Structure 1
Amino acid sequence: MTSTLFIAGDSTAAIKGASEKPMTGWGEYLQGYFRSSFTVDNRAVNGRSTKSFLTERRLTAIEKEFQAGDYLFIQFGHNDGKLEDPLRYAAPNPEYRENLVRFIESARRNGGTPVLLTSVSRRRFLEGGIPDPLAVGEYPEVMRQVADDTGTALLDIFAASQQLYRALGVDGTRHLFMHLPKQAHPNYPDDISDDTHFSDVGARHIASLVAQAIHQSHALPELKRHLKGTAESAFPGKGA
């Protein structure tokens, strides 16, 4: 039986067009960790929050193709916190929490498995080279609570990415993100210093963290069987 893994998320996971490269979403590399009989369908979209994703009926579009046995990966938070934008802002409590439950219930109602992924951390450090635990506000913690309350599988990518950033340090993490000097790339003639969106290298690292989290999860034994490898060595980039 073939299954599909749908990604519902924002720009950190979304497929980037030619005009946006070398910016890359981690979802672009997740398929490489699965066997060819398993499909990753990346529906993440730049700039979306749980609120705007639902309002634009993007979850409804997924539901039309979602089948029993499929997986729904849910990763939001970066844009839910945009207080200045009423079309996207979803307060951590109760709106963000309630929206996550809508995603979870959709997958279960259609015979599939919802999986919550805490937001990938922004590149933000405190004194002493410590990654800022509030780099995406309260949203990762609220998602952890929702996972506990609803019995939903959780991949804590916020924690995993912060561990990676701590290991690499302030300077060592720059190449993971969109930091380019002026005229370095035709898509970005002006210099860019973006600590939210990933370079190609950064996206590969985060996809590796997601694959590692699946491999280490006790709540996703069936999904784990679709991975190409079962040993830790199957996931390049760990701690690199």
Structure 2
Amino acid sequence: MSCTLFIAGDSTAAIKGAAEKPMTGWGEHLQAYFGPSLRIDNRAVNGRSTKSFLAERRLEAIEKEFQAGDYLFIQFGHNDGKQEDPLRYADPEREFRANLERFIESARRKGGTPVLLTSVSRRRFLADGSPDPDAVGAYPEAMRQVAAGTATPLLDIFAASQQLYRALGIEGTRHLFMHLPEQAHPNYPEGISDDTHFSDVGARHIARLVAQAVHQCAALPELRQHLIRTTEGYLPGKVAMPE
């Protein structure tokens, strides 16, 4: 049976326009891991937090198309922590958690399945060369606690991305993010050094981590049936998707 997987999130997942390339959101590459029985509908938007996404009625727009059996992936945190912006800031101990519960309730009310994804980590390292566990502040842990308290499936992408960064190291992770010298790309004539947003290669890596997390999540047996490949390659008995 076919269904749709909606992504509600921020710029780390969002579809990027031609003027932003080669910056890429991980949601742009997620479809490659699922067969035609599941359609990815990426509603993530640059710069949004749980607060601004809700205030702009973007969840309501998803609800208008959301059907029983659909999935809602929910990944926020990067912009919720911007205390200087009252339109986006959501306290991790109160408002952020309450907002997440609104997303969860929405999907369940419509007969679908909400899935919480902890924020993908920024590229930030400690003096000893290990990834900074506070790279997205208190938001990953707050989301874990909401998942536990509401019995919502959780994909811990923060932990998975930090494990990837640890394996690659400080210099080995540069190519995953938007690091370009001057005149290297017409969209960034002055160059760019950005440790939050992904290059196309980085977005592919994170999409692979998301697919792997789905494959390992016992709480999502039906969604796992739509997977055609994981990091280990194509799943047995599945039709391969083109690269």
Q: Which band: TM-score by shorter chain?
A: over 0.9
Q: Distance in 2 between matches of 1:165 and 1:234?
A: 24
CA contact (8 A) 2:212 2:230 kept: no
Q: Distance in 1 between matches of 2:225 and 2:231?
A: 12
5 Å-filtered alignment, 1:1-240, equals 1-229=1-229, 232-234=232-234
Report the TM-score, using the length of structure 2 for normalisation.
Answer: 0.95
Deviation per CA, 1:146-166, whole angstroms, max 9, x where unpaired? 000000000000000000000
Q: Distance in 2 between matches of 1:159 and 1:53?
A: 24
Q: In structure 2, what residue type is equivalent to 1:139?
A: Y
1:69 partner SS = coil
Q: In structure 2, what residue type is equivalent to 1:192?
A: I
Deviation per CA, 1:10-41, whole angstroms, max 9, x where unpaired? 00000000000000000000001000121000
Q: In structure 2, what residue type is equivalent to 1:213?
A: A
CA contact (8 A) 2:212 2:231 kept: no
In the alignment, which residue of structure 1 is the partner of 2:238?
A: none
Q: In structure 1, what residue type is equivalent to 2:106?
A: S
What is the CA distance between 1:127 and its match in structure 2? 1.3
Q: Distance in 2 between matches of 1:50 and 1:160?
A: 22
In the alignment, which residue of structure 1 is the partner of 2:241?
A: none
CA contact (8 A) 2:14 2:44 kept: yes
1:160 partner SS = helix
Deviation per CA, 1:174-202, whole angstroms, max 9, x where unpaired? 00000000000000000210000000000
What is the CA distance between 1:229 and its match in structure 2? 3.3
Q: In structure 2, what residue type is equivalent to 1:18?
A: A
1:31 partner SS = helix
CA contact (8 A) 2:208 2:231 kept: no
Q: Distance in 2 between matches of 1:167 and 1:93?
A: 31
Q: Distance in 2 between matches of 1:132 and 1:230?
A: 27
Q: Distance in 1 between matches of 2:27 and 2:44?
A: 8
Considering only aligned residues, what root-mean-square deviation do their CA atoms show, in Å? 1.0
Residues 61, 11 of structure 1: CA spacing in aligned structure 2 closer, same or farther, 3 A cutoff? same
In the alignment, which residue of structure 1 is the partner of 2:239?
A: none
2:196 partner SS = strand
Residues 20, 231 of structure 1: CA spacing in aligned structure 2 closer, same or farther, 3 A cutoff? closer
What is the CA distance between 1:231 and its match in structure 2? 7.9
Q: In structure 1, what residue type is equivalent to 2:14?
A: A
Deviation per CA, 1:61-104, whole angstroms, max 9, x where unpaired? 00000000000000000000000000000010100000000000
Q: Distance in 1 between matches of 2:37 and 2:91?
A: 39
Q: Distance in 2 between matches of 1:214 and 1:145?
A: 19
Q: Distance in 2 between matches of 1:232 and 1:189?
A: 38
CA contact (8 A) 2:33 2:230 kept: no
What is the CA distance between 1:129 and its match in structure 2? 1.1
2:133 partner SS = coil
In the alignment, which residue of structure 2 is the partner of 1:238?
A: none
